[in-house]
Structure 1
Amino acid sequence: MTDIGERSATPAKPSEDYQRTIRVQAAPDALFDALTTVSGLSAWWTRATGSGDAGGELKFHFDHPEPCVMRVDQATRPRSVHWTTTTCDFLPDWVGTRPTFTINPVDGDASELRFRHHGLSTELDCIEQCTRGWDHFLDSLRQYVEVSRGMPHGSSEDRARRGSS
């Protein structure tokens, strides 16, 4: 760990973490609810259980015996949601990574969502699969908050993107 007073001898590299910014035609509170309620998360990503409140734990159920578990580090309405992956047996590269969502209001009832998955970088084996997945699920989130119908894991749209029936 570096103390605040120390300077690095080499300049920091730009982040290679997965990042994406999307604009949605929905109020920040609607976007925040989609990121912090199990009904919202299940509607755009995958079946979820647990609590999306700060200090809570969310379990995301995919096609594996054990869920991917995220600790909710921050959930500040309506601006930000931060998670840390604590367990993910089917994607062990994710353990210790930190998905973050930053919400900013724009133009009336629209919002800008800045998503960054800290630690999900080009150095990880899953980067291509995970990039395609996040691209799909962030589009699913947009569709869910705009028209109340996402494309969560297992939906026909999700199966089509994965090439399965």
Structure 2
Amino acid sequence: MTSQNYKRIIAVKADAEKSYWALTEGMHEWWTRPDAPMKEMGDRSKFTFPPGNGYWTFEATALEPGRCVEMVCIEALHLHEDMPQEIETEWLDTRVRWDIRSNGNQTDIMIEHHGLIPGLHCYEICEAGWDMFFVDSLQAFLNTGKGNPHCAPTNDRHG
């Protein structure tokens, strides 16, 4: 039986070590700014999407430098207008895994979001989000040094 989990693969110019860094300590360069980097097994990072679009907290369950990053969602609050309340916690207990493989002069990175399946209310929204952040922004960051992460609007005029 074929898995219906969200899955994609990208090829990048960066080496496996830089790719691993982008998936652990460098997520702010291509996704959104977490409250802490993932450096060790058991580390927890909260990813917010201001203003008011919710957050997800993940715990690192596998960290193999240059090879894979895996994390499980331990808190979820996905706020989306005109959607059933169930959408808020659909990511809870889902698992995101990135596998990194050197392939000649490029690196292949595969994501599989275990539990993000078409039957969820959030699937189309989250599929588009992962495509934008993983397929487009991460690939751009690892190829050019410039990603397109979520940036919160700010009223801070001092920064």
> TM-score of the superposition, structure 1-length normalised?
0.81
Larger Rg: 1
1:130 to 120, 126, 133: 126
Cα shift at 1:50: 1.8
Residue identity matched to 2:42: G
CA RMSD of aligned residues (A): 1.7
Corresponding pairs, count = 141
The TM-score, its normalising length taken from structure 2, stands at: 0.83
Structure 2 counterpart of 1:48: 34
Alpha-carbon offset, residue 65 of structure 1: 7.8
1:58 aligned partner: 45
User: Which residue does the alignment assign to 2:93?
Assistant: 96
Q: How far apart are the structure 1 equivalents of 2:23 and 2:35?
A: 13
Query: Helix, strand or coil for the counterpart of 2:46?
Result: strand
Letter in 2 for 1:69: T
1:23 to 1, 7, 11: 11
* Shift of residue 154, structure 1, vs aligned partner: 3.1
Q: What's the CA shift string for 1:49-88, capped at 9, x where partnerless?
A: 2241221111111123863100000110010000000101
Q: Residue 77 of structure 2 aligns to a residue in which SS?
A: coil
Structure 1 Cα separation of the partners of residues 29 and 24 of structure 2: 12
SS at match of 2:60: strand
State how far apart, in whole Å, the 2-side matches of 1:120 and 1:68 are: 14
Runs of 4+ in 1 over 6 A off after TM superposition: none
* Higher RCO structure, 1 or 2 (CA under 8 Å, sep 6+): 2
Distance 1:18 1:106 in 2: 23
- CA distance in 1: counterparts of 2:56 and 2:138, whole angstroms: 19
Which stretches in structure 2 are left out of the alignment for 5+ residues?
Answer: 79-87, 153-159
Which amino acid letter does the alignment assign opposite residue 91 of structure 2?
Answer: W
**Is it true that 1:151 corresponds to 2:148 in the alignment?**
yes
Determine what percentage of the aligned residue pairs are the same residue: 30
